[in-house]
Structure 1
């Protein structure tokens, strides 16, 4: 059954285009905020919900896993029910789930409501991105992706600051209640301006494809999220999750490649070289951006003794760099080869990470802010051209499915980056502590420099020296993590050469009924 497509970009008035942009950007920001806004409130939730340190982490894990599983279903949901209906339903469901999270009185309730929140939140970002791609003509899609990027990139950056402020001056429940006015604004604009697109009631989901990919994604997310808590492969649970991930991924790939008509994932997605390369690049973007934030917050709070709110304010200016970069690159994208912009963005990101690897316990707030702005500027120069070229060569009927996988790869990159850096930080810190401790003796120059303030023959003196060794070991371990992410940013530069120019013809346009092929 072929269904009519929505209006062509040329048929949409400038006023309606602005309203649609505002609508999807608000929804994107709302969903992106929830990826980090609850983190700083976890200690407060723990007391209110009578949870242990391990149990409270399920508030984050439940949302991440449910959203990851549901993201790839976005393409089928749009085909089956229509884009407008799915978007409105997801906004309403996300807001209701947020209100329920705010009223939760037990850990069980909170985890259940967070699962529901993840289910409804997952399709919002892919649908928002595909809506903008279909709303703007090809010549201005770079500017559209700049606007979209503001929501995606700024959400995780301002989340900790906003969450810390709400928790400090109001209550942790407001990190969920804040979604109500944001969602209401998105809903009002969607009801008034979001165009209707045809649905195909006969569209069926590929159950086997969904089940195997869902198994792989859920197992991977649990493996990454719980590995550090359970000491990785010494835990039977972690071994089982890795085995399930490999099994699910194997079955999904074999099914997609060999099935006569796999309806869950269109094979044409992976036949597009630029789209595949873009998935690898956005994986690195997700890993570097959120892993950096995950490292900097404890660095400022634990090593430099910054209050939570102060740490959030110091980290927030990197969002200014991102905003400036997206405005600039939105104007450059149609005039400058996107590959040059990508190379500049990754290079600038690598430079910022190199600067972070030089941080010491005496680093100033001005240095942290300056480096953050530089990194934000670099990420902005990467995200906009990458979001533009990733879908430039895809037929329009594959855009929603493509944006779903694009969001999935960014989120998986974030999970992998955070887990890997957290593991390396702890392991390297322990190794460095042992290595530095070997050189501690009454004859060591550093100990002699401390003079009469430290006496290694006393318990207090040994504890003081141990604290200093721990601090220095952690500083070096953080530096090693920043340096590793710098190398990762540089390592992807050769891949940019394989990206096809965004202004190259993409072949014949899709037919009128292709939207529901």
Structure 2
């Protein structure tokens, strides 16, 4: 019998890949597509501006908590069976979300949707690694990465179009035909997998779930309650530290822990986790900043914002397809460093944004950033799993997805908090210069010095605009520095042998 997770001979590899990617894109889209529909949901569900955010929080927390258990479930019931159950559950709960009649019902359905959807992304990566030989691993990760990276980019645009053209319920109902096609394809062509008997380490899972869930609550609730000025954030912090600390000690001392610590002996995998954390910060943090910036400063609609940001997705797809072919011929470490360097250049270009510019700089910087992130993601996804034992693959891919999602959540929370704080600071500093004793103000706006209310209002609007713009530039600089610091980490990766041949043997015994 082959080792669990080893490459198997399959028919209809292309059709399997298509079905898997349909399910993957469906799940990834749901992490961002609902954001733009929240204002429309508020009135229909009888929610307030604060409580409606639980529609997002419930999904994120449920998915984060359930992602690490993917490996154990796939070993117990089979990867194919778990994938099919996840698709069916995700589609059914999407229908329920589209039919929700109140905020509690919506939050409950989103919670279930997150639970069912958690396994889809890590299992899709596992399947693509299983059904493709090692020499085609780069191309397989290019296709998988295209869905993972492009999904969040087109999500807000698609959600805005569905909400404006129909109503917010179609943001969830759109999953039905996509999920149906994915389900039929997977049922028809997805190969069966080998089962593996593993005891469920409930205590280890509980501690990891406690740490992850509490961390997500900090990140999602922090902005609303002013971070550590609220008692609940301190409670979440205590639970986060306790959960992760106890879990770390537990897996090092228990005979059969929830996650086998031997997988962390693979240097490429551990370095890959660090890199995907950074990529998560850059990818969704910039996605969280650009749409509101284009809306608040440049008065773009959701559709226009999507069109302006589309070249970013195009650049990502181009570089991923290119990297999928280059990863066997070029040192993957050079591709990662080149991708990070392009990302640094794009963020530097974004620090040159001004309220008076047109969309060209946004488009070009987005294109360069897309090219850079694509060059990072494909070789990183390939190298991270090139040397790890196949028996750890399902657990490893679930951790890979989990760390990427945590990085995204942290990145969004940090840039949002920094933006809010800098807006207040910049506004106070600029407003302090707007006095009758300022010679420039006396020359350019004498009516403001004279106390004309209309002119003073225009001046205040101008100060607000400039303070907001400078705050966005500060965030772009922060992200640029984070990315720049990550470039030397590429040297810690080992160049694996990606030539044709069997996968590495399960060396855990």
Q: Give the TM-score of the pair, scaled to structure 1.
A: 0.95
Residue 12 of structure 1 is aligned with which of 10, 13, 18?
10
> What residue number does 1:148 align with?
144
The correspondence of residues 380-419 of structure 1 with structure 2, limited to 5 A, is 380-419=374-413
TM-superposed deviation, 1:503: 1.6
TM-superposed deviation, 1:151: 0.8
Checking the alignment, whether the CA contact within 8 Å between 1:39 and 1:60 is kept in structure 2 is yes
Checking the alignment, whether the CA contact within 8 Å between 2:388 and 2:504 is kept in structure 1 is no
Checking the alignment, whether the CA contact within 8 Å between 2:217 and 2:236 is kept in structure 1 is yes
TM-superposed deviation, 1:504: 7.0
Shift of the 450–337 alpha-carbon distance from structure 1 to 2, 3 Å rule, reads same
Q: Distance in 2 between matches of 1:104 and 1:446?
A: 57
Residue 433 of structure 1 is aligned with which of 409, 415, 427?
427
> What residue number does 1:209 align with?
204
Matched, 1:370 2:364: yes
> What residue number does 2:129 align with?
133
TM-superposed deviation, 1:236: 0.6
Checking the alignment, whether the CA contact within 8 Å between 1:3 and 1:199 is kept in structure 2 is no
> What residue number does 2:320 align with?
326
> What residue number does 2:343 align with?
349
Q: Distance in 1 between matches of 2:439 and 2:279?
A: 43
Q: Distance in 1 between matches of 2:97 and 2:158?
A: 17
Shift of the 334–507 alpha-carbon distance from structure 1 to 2, 3 Å rule, reads closer
Shift of the 68–455 alpha-carbon distance from structure 1 to 2, 3 Å rule, reads same
Checking the alignment, whether the CA contact within 8 Å between 1:6 and 1:195 is kept in structure 2 is no
Q: Distance in 2 between matches of 1:472 and 1:6?
A: 54
Residue 219 of structure 1 is aligned with which of 214, 218, 224?
214
TM-superposed deviation, 1:451: 3.4
Checking the alignment, whether the CA contact within 8 Å between 2:25 and 2:151 is kept in structure 1 is yes
TM-superposed deviation, 1:456: 5.0
Q: Secondary structure at the match of 1:172?
A: coil
Q: Secondary structure at the match of 1:497?
A: helix
Q: Distance in 2 between matches of 1:6 and 1:223?
A: 35
TM-superposed deviation, 1:8: 3.7
Q: Secondary structure at the match of 2:46?
A: coil
Shift of the 462–87 alpha-carbon distance from structure 1 to 2, 3 Å rule, reads same
Number of aligned pairs? 508
Q: Distance in 2 between matches of 1:269 and 1:228?
A: 35
The correspondence of residues 68-83 of structure 1 with structure 2, limited to 5 A, is 68-83=64-79
Residue 416 of structure 2 is aligned with which of 412, 419, 422?
422
Residue 447 of structure 1 is aligned with which of 416, 441, 446?
441
Shift of the 332–240 alpha-carbon distance from structure 1 to 2, 3 Å rule, reads same
Shift of the 317–445 alpha-carbon distance from structure 1 to 2, 3 Å rule, reads farther
Checking the alignment, whether the CA contact within 8 Å between 2:3 and 2:505 is kept in structure 1 is no
Checking the alignment, whether the CA contact within 8 Å between 1:28 and 1:128 is kept in structure 2 is yes
Q: Distance in 2 between matches of 1:510 and 1:430?
A: 57
> What residue number does 2:486 align with?
492
Q: Secondary structure at the match of 1:100?
A: helix
Matched, 1:297 2:291: yes
TM-superposed deviation, 1:455: 4.6
Matched, 1:51 2:66: no
Q: Distance in 2 between matches of 1:312 and 1:117?
A: 26
Q: Which runs of 5+ in 1 are unaligned?
A: none
Q: Secondary structure at the match of 1:128?
A: helix
Q: Distance in 2 between matches of 1:68 and 1:494?
A: 29
Q: Distance in 2 between matches of 1:472 and 1:73?
A: 47
Q: Distance in 2 between matches of 1:456 and 1:345?
A: 54
TM-superposed deviation, 1:71: 0.3
RMSD in angstroms over aligned alpha carbons? Answer: 1.9
Checking the alignment, whether the CA contact within 8 Å between 2:316 and 2:372 is kept in structure 1 is yes
Checking the alignment, whether the CA contact within 8 Å between 1:345 and 1:382 is kept in structure 2 is yes
Q: Which runs of 5+ in 2 are unaligned?
A: none
> What residue number does 1:66 align with?
62
Matched, 1:235 2:230: yes
Q: Secondary structure at the match of 2:16?
A: helix
> What residue number does 2:191 align with?
195
TM-superposed deviation, 1:316: 2.1
Q: Distance in 1 between matches of 2:17 and 2:384?
A: 20
The correspondence of residues 46-125 of structure 1 with structure 2, limited to 5 A, is 46-125=42-121
> What residue number does 2:26 align with?
30
Q: Distance in 1 between matches of 2:504 and 2:260?
A: 18
> What residue number does 2:241 align with?
246
> What residue number does 1:280 align with?
274
TM-superposed deviation, 1:3: 8.8
> What residue number does 1:164 align with?
160
Checking the alignment, whether the CA contact within 8 Å between 2:26 and 2:179 is kept in structure 1 is yes
Q: Distance in 2 between matches of 1:407 and 1:86?
A: 17
Checking the alignment, whether the CA contact within 8 Å between 2:277 and 2:406 is kept in structure 1 is yes
Shift of the 76–460 alpha-carbon distance from structure 1 to 2, 3 Å rule, reads same
Q: Distance in 1 between matches of 2:335 and 2:393?
A: 23
TM-superposed deviation, 1:117: 0.4
Q: Give the TM-score of the pair, scaled to structure 2.
A: 0.96
Q: Secondary structure at the match of 1:325?
A: helix
> What residue number does 1:311 align with?
305
> Bigger CA drift: 111-120 or 449-458?
449-458
TM-superposed deviation, 1:198: 2.1
Q: Distance in 2 between matches of 1:399 and 1:5?
A: 8
